[in-house]
Amino acid sequence: MSQEIQDKMARSEASGGAPVADDAAPLPVVPIVGIGASAGGLTALEMLLPPIKPGSGLAYVVIQHLDPDHESALPSLLERSTALPVAVITNGMAIEADRIYVLPPNAGVAIEDDRLRLAELPRPRGPQTPIDGFFTSLAEARGERAAAVILSGSGSDGTLGLRAIKEHGGLTIAQRGAEYDGMMRSAVQTGMVDVVLPVAEIPAKLADYFRDLDRRKSQAEGQGARDALTQILALLRARTGHDFSGYKDRTVARRVQRRMQVLQIDTVATFIERLRKDPQEVDLLLQDLLIGVTNFFRDPQAFAALEEKVIPYLFEGKGPNDTIRIWVPGCSTGEEAYSIAILLREHLPKGQAGPRLQIFASDIDEQALQTARIGRYPAAIAGDVAPERLEQHFVREDGTYRIASDLREICLFSAHNLLHDAPFSKLDLISCRNLLIYLTPELQNRVIPLFHYALNESGYLFLGSSENLTRHARLFSTLDKPHRIFRRRTPIERRLPEFPLTTTEGARHRTPAAQRIVADPDSLQSLAERQLLERYSPAYVVINAEGDALHGSGRTGKYLELAPGAPKIDVFSMARQGLRPDMRAGVHKAASTGQVVVQKNVIVGTNGGRQTIDLIVQPLRTAPAHDPLYMIVFQDIGGIKNGQEANGAVDDEDLESAGLRQLETELRATKERLQTTTEELESTNEELKSGNEELSSMNEELQSANEELETSKEELQSINEELQTVNAELNSRVEDLSRANSDIANLLESTQIATLFLDRDLNVKSFTPAAKDVFRLIESDMGRPITHVRACFKADTVQDDAERVLRTLSTIERQIEGADNGARYVMRMMPYRTVDNVIAGVVITFVDVTKMSAAEARINQLTRDLRDRIQSLEILLDVVPVGILILQDRQKIDEIRVNRYGAQLLGHGAQGEAGSGPRLLSAGVRLFQGDRELPPDEQPLQLSTRSGHAVANFEGQLLRPDGERRDVMITSTPLFDDAGKTRGGIAAIVDISERKNAEARQQILLYELQHRVKNIIATVSALANRSLPTEGPMAAIGEAFQGRLRGMAATHELLSRANWRGAPLAELIEAATRSLTGFEGSNVDVHGPDVLMTPAAAATLGMVFYELATNAVKYGALSKSGGRVDIDWQVTGSPTIKTLSLTWTESGSKPIAPDARAGFGMTFIKRSIEYELAGKADMEPTADGLRWKMDLPFAQNVQHA
365 among known catalytic residues: no
Residue from 54, 122, 116, 120 nearest 87 by CA: 116
> What is the DSSP annotation of 261-320?
HHHT---HHHHHHHHHH-HHHHHHHHHHHH-----TTSSHHHHHHHHHHTHHHHHTT--T
Residue from 629, 611, 612 nearest 620 by CA: 629
- Stretch touching other proteins by CB under 8 A, among 169-177, 456-464, 1140-1148, 1170-1178: 1170-1178
Q: Which is nearer to other proteins, 384 or 1172 (CB)?
A: 1172
Query: Is 202 within 8 Å of 176 (Cβ atoms)?
Result: no
Q: Which is nearer to other proteins, 673 or 1167 (CB)?
A: 1167
Q: Which is nearer to other proteins, 162 or 1165 (CB)?
A: 1165
Residue from 251, 345, 234, 334 nearest 294 by CA: 334
Q: How many residues bind other proteins (CB under 8 A)?
A: 9
38 among known catalytic residues: yes
Q: Which is nearer to other proteins, 1057 or 1167 (CB)?
A: 1167
Rounded-to-integer distance, Cα 1171 and Cα 1105, Å: 16
Q: Does 1051 bind other proteins (CB under 8 A)?
A: no
> From residue 159, how far is each of 132, 164, 463 by CA, in Å?
7, 9, 30
Q: Which is nearer to other proteins, 63 or 1050 (CB)?
A: 1050
Catalytic residue from among 7, 132, 157, 421: 157
- Stretch touching other proteins by CB under 8 A, among 220-228, 316-324, 334-342, 1164-1172: 1164-1172
- Minimum CB–partner distance for residue 1171 and other proteins (Å): 4
363 among known catalytic residues: no
Q: Cα 295 to chain center, whole Å?
A: 48
Beta pairing partners, 413: 361
Could you say which DSSP state residue 570 is in? Answer: B
- Stretch touching other proteins by CB under 8 A, among 94-102, 260-268, 738-746, 1169-1177: 1169-1177
Of positions 734, 1096, 1137, 1158, contacts other proteins by CB under 8 A: 1096
Q: Which is nearer to other proteins, 869 or 1167 (CB)?
A: 1167
Residue from 573, 540, 559 nearest 607 by CA: 559
- Minimum CB–partner distance for residue 1096 and other proteins (Å): 5
Q: Does 1174 bind other proteins (CB under 8 A)?
A: yes
Q: Which is nearer to other proteins, 315 or 1164 (CB)?
A: 1164
Task: Look at phi and psi of residue 578 and say left if phi exceeds 0, alpha if psi is from -120 to 50, else beta.
Answer: left
- Minimum CB–partner distance for residue 1196 and other proteins (Å): 8
- Strand 539-544 and strand 629-642: pairing? antiparallel
- Minimum CB–partner distance for residue 1028 and other proteins (Å): 18
- Minimum CB–partner distance for residue 943 and other proteins (Å): 42
Q: Does 1168 bind other proteins (CB under 8 A)?
A: yes
- Minimum CB–partner distance for residue 1099 and other proteins (Å): 9
Q: Which is nearer to other proteins, 199 or 1099 (CB)?
A: 1099
Of positions 38, 1100, 1141, 1147, contacts other proteins by CB under 8 A: 1100
Q: Report the SS3 class of residue 359.
A: strand
Q: Does 1023 bind other proteins (CB under 8 A)?
A: no
Q: Which is nearer to other proteins, 658 or 1096 (CB)?
A: 1096
Residue from 713, 723, 819, 807 nearest 760 by CA: 807
Rounded-to-integer distance, Cα 1074 and Cα 860, Å: 80
Q: Report the SS3 class of residue 28.
A: coil
Handedness of CA 723, 728, 729, 732 (dihedral sign): positive
- Strand 356-363 and strand 323-329: pairing? parallel
Catalytic residue from among 65, 393, 416, 452: 65
- Minimum CB–partner distance for residue 880 and other proteins (Å): 30
- Stretch touching other proteins by CB under 8 A, among 111-119, 221-229, 280-288, 1167-1175: 1167-1175
Rounded-to-integer distance, Cα 929 and Cα 958, Å: 9
- Minimum CB–partner distance for residue 973 and other proteins (Å): 38
Site for other proteins in 27-56 (CB under 8 A): none
- Minimum CB–partner distance for residue 1156 and other proteins (Å): 22
- Minimum CB–partner distance for residue 1094 and other proteins (Å): 9
Beta pairing partners, 400: 378, 397
- Stretch touching other proteins by CB under 8 A, among 145-153, 235-243, 375-383, 1161-1169: 1161-1169
Sorted by sequence, the CB contacts under 8 Å of residue 135 that are 6+ apart come out as 34, 36, 148, 158, 160, 161, 162, 164, 165
Rounded-to-integer distance, Cα 1091 and Cα 1087, Å: 11
Secondary structure of the chain: what % helix, strand, coil (to 5)? 45, 25, 30
- Stretch touching other proteins by CB under 8 A, among 709-717, 863-871, 1144-1152, 1166-1174: 1166-1174
Rounded-to-integer distance, Cα 1036 and Cα 817, Å: 109
Residue from 277, 218, 288 nearest 247 by CA: 288
Residue 214 carries which side chain, given as an amino acid letter? D
Residue from 22, 28, 548, 463 nearest 250 by CA: 22
- Strand 93-94 and strand 115-120: pairing? antiparallel
> From residue 965, how far is each of 368, 485, 905, 935 by CA, in Å?
137, 158, 11, 17
Q: Which is nearer to other proteins, 56 or 1168 (CB)?
A: 1168
- Minimum CB–partner distance for residue 1168 and other proteins (Å): 5
| Site pattern 803..842 for other proteins (x: CB under 8 A) | ----------------------------------------
Q: Does 1167 bind other proteins (CB under 8 A)?
A: yes
Q: Which is nearer to other proteins, 1075 or 1094 (CB)?
A: 1094
Residue from 1086, 1092, 1089 nearest 1063 by CA: 1092
Q: Does 1158 bind other proteins (CB under 8 A)?
A: no
Rounded-to-integer distance, Cα 495 and Cα 453, Å: 8
- Stretch touching other proteins by CB under 8 A, among 165-173, 350-358, 747-755, 1163-1171: 1163-1171
- Stretch touching other proteins by CB under 8 A, among 99-107, 113-121, 276-284, 1160-1168: 1160-1168
Catalytic residue from among 12, 38, 152, 414: 38
Q: Does 611 bind other proteins (CB under 8 A)?
A: no
* H-assigned helices in 962-1058: 993-1027, 1035-1057
Q: Which is nearer to other proteins, 154 or 1197 (CB)?
A: 1197
- Minimum CB–partner distance for residue 1046 and other proteins (Å): 17
Sorted by sequence, the CB contacts under 8 Å of residue 502 that are 6+ apart come out as 1, 2, 243, 246, 419, 420
Sorted by sequence, the CB contacts under 8 Å of residue 190 that are 6+ apart come out as 159, 162, 163, 367, 371
- Stretch touching other proteins by CB under 8 A, among 105-113, 333-341, 964-972, 1162-1170: 1162-1170
Of positions 601, 1171, 1178, 1195, contacts other proteins by CB under 8 A: 1171
- Minimum CB–partner distance for residue 1097 and other proteins (Å): 9
What phi and psi, each to the nearest 5 degrees, are found at residue 204? -65, -45
Q: Does 1172 bind other proteins (CB under 8 A)?
A: yes
Site for other proteins in 442-471 (CB under 8 A): none
Q: Which is nearer to other proteins, 1019 or 1130 (CB)?
A: 1019
Indicate which residues carry an active-site annotation.
38, 65, 157
Binding interface with other proteins (CB under 8 A): 1096, 1100, 1164, 1167-1168, 1171-1172, 1174, 1196
